[in-house]
Amino acid sequence: MHNSEAMALSAALLAVAGELTQRINEGVVARGFEGMRPAHGFAFTRLAPDGATVTELAAHLGVTKQAASQLVDEVVRKGYAERRPHPVDARARLVVLTERGWACTRAAEAAAAEVVREWADVLGEGEVRALREQLGRIAPYGPIRPAW
């Protein structure tokens, strides 16, 4: 693959990721979860299903512990998460989603499904499945980080 082709592919993937992030966030807000930002959603992907410490969340988001702590303060204040004693480490606090946080997560899933259905209308369901599998082979693990 030539450099220009690699750049075109990179630009297309970044554009799709940016639009997907924006559309999911718009869908979440449209479903009644006002004041949410994409950064909240990226944090929720780490908090689900079993919670995380602020340190774990910071590593997931690629930010400082102080920035992660501020984000946690915000989602706790808005009722999307709560701090609980850590089941193993008495020095740590576990941040877990509340029912409101889970409802917001389900709204994000519904918004994502709408976007992917649009992709299937253009590409076909088989192509979208193949795309998911191919992208999964390239980036099977790892945190989902926002582009700050």
Tell me the pLDDT band of 143, cut-offs 50, 70 and 90.
low
pLDDT of residue 42: 92
Per 3-state DSSP, what percentage of the chain is helix, strand, and coil (rounded to 5)? Answer: 65, 5, 25
Residue 61 to residue 72: CA distance in whole angstroms: 12
- Contact at 8 Å (CB) between 43 and 128? no
pLDDT of residue 103: 97
Stretch 93-102: mean pLDDT, rounded? Answer: 97
Q: How far is CA 18 from CA 38, 88, 94, 145, 148, in A?
A: 10, 38, 30, 12, 12
pTM of the model: 0.88
Total Cβ atoms within 10 A of residue 96: 17
Q: What is the pLDDT of residues 27-77, one digit of tens each?
A: 999 999 988 999 999 999 999 989 999 999 999 998 999 999 999 999 999
Structure-derived torsion over alpha carbons of residues 142, 39, 76, 89, reported in degrees to the nearest 10: 20
- Contact at 8 Å (CB) between 113 and 121? no
pLDDT of residue 114: 97
pLDDT of residue 9: 94
Which of 61, 59, 57, 58 minimizes the C-alpha distance to 47? 57
Strand partners, 97: 81
